[in-house]
Structure formats: C-alpha cells, structure tokens
Structure 1
Amino acid sequence: MAVSMVGTNSLYTCLDMIDKMVSVNEGYIAKAILALLETEKCVVEGAGAVTLAAIMEGKLPELQGKR
C-alpha cells in the first residue's frame, strides 16, 4: 500500500471505475484491524481493513451510519 507513485498504466486502466480516492492514517488502519478482530472475529491484513479505517477516520461521510 505504501508506494511512492501510482503506476501510470494501472491508474489509467482503473480510472473509469474509481469514484473517489482517500488517504488513511496508519493508526486508523490498526484500529480497524482490531475492530474487525474483536467484532467480526476476522483476522485481516491492512489492505483488508482500509475501507473501514477510512470510515472510522471520517473520510467517507456518505457511508457513516450505513450497515
């Protein structure tokens, strides 16, 4: 996840399918991993918890309160 620059070819290939990009603090990723472990009993890596981390950090207000 920590790359210095997004690959040009992969970015342009995916651009039509991307609605929004946000950056997430690593601390929130750790909190999301722990939350998934405690509430869902799922062991996930950081990439698997990044969307929840973005919601927890308030970067995706359109998803707040959704199930």
Structure 2
Amino acid sequence: MANERFGTKPLSPPEVARQTGISELRVRKLIEAGRLKATDVGVGSKNPRWKIMPEHLAEFFGVDREVARA
C-alpha cells in the first residue's frame, strides 16, 4: 500500500509539502476542497489535524496503484 516516493506512514500537510514541493497552504486547500483525501486525527479539537495516507498521495498524483503497492 505504500510506495517509494511517499513512504509507509501517514503524513502531515507540512511533510506532504516538503516531499512534493507544493506549499503547505496549497496542501490544506486541496484537502478542504476534497481533492486530496485526508483524515482529521484531531477530532474534538478546534482546528483539524490532517494526516494523509501515502496511497492517497499516490492517487492524487496519478501514480499507478500497482506501483504504489510495490
């Protein structure tokens, strides 16, 4: 389910920004727009704490799913 580019663990928006070269603000806007799947792990807190699964990044960037599972 993971791939070499995005690793195996869930990533925060700043981590996604560093790995992809997209600004953290853009990552958050993509999440809010529903274009990048993410999970709010800060349930009950005032501000969301997003985590993005590597397979969702692969899906967003169009990486072949078979390659993503290698």
TM-score (norm 1): 0.30
Compare CA radii of gyration and give the structure with the larger one.
Answer: 1
Q: Which has the higher contact order (CA 8 A, sep 6+)?
A: 2
Which structure has the highest helix share of the two? 1
- TM norm structure 2: 0.30
Higher strand share: 2
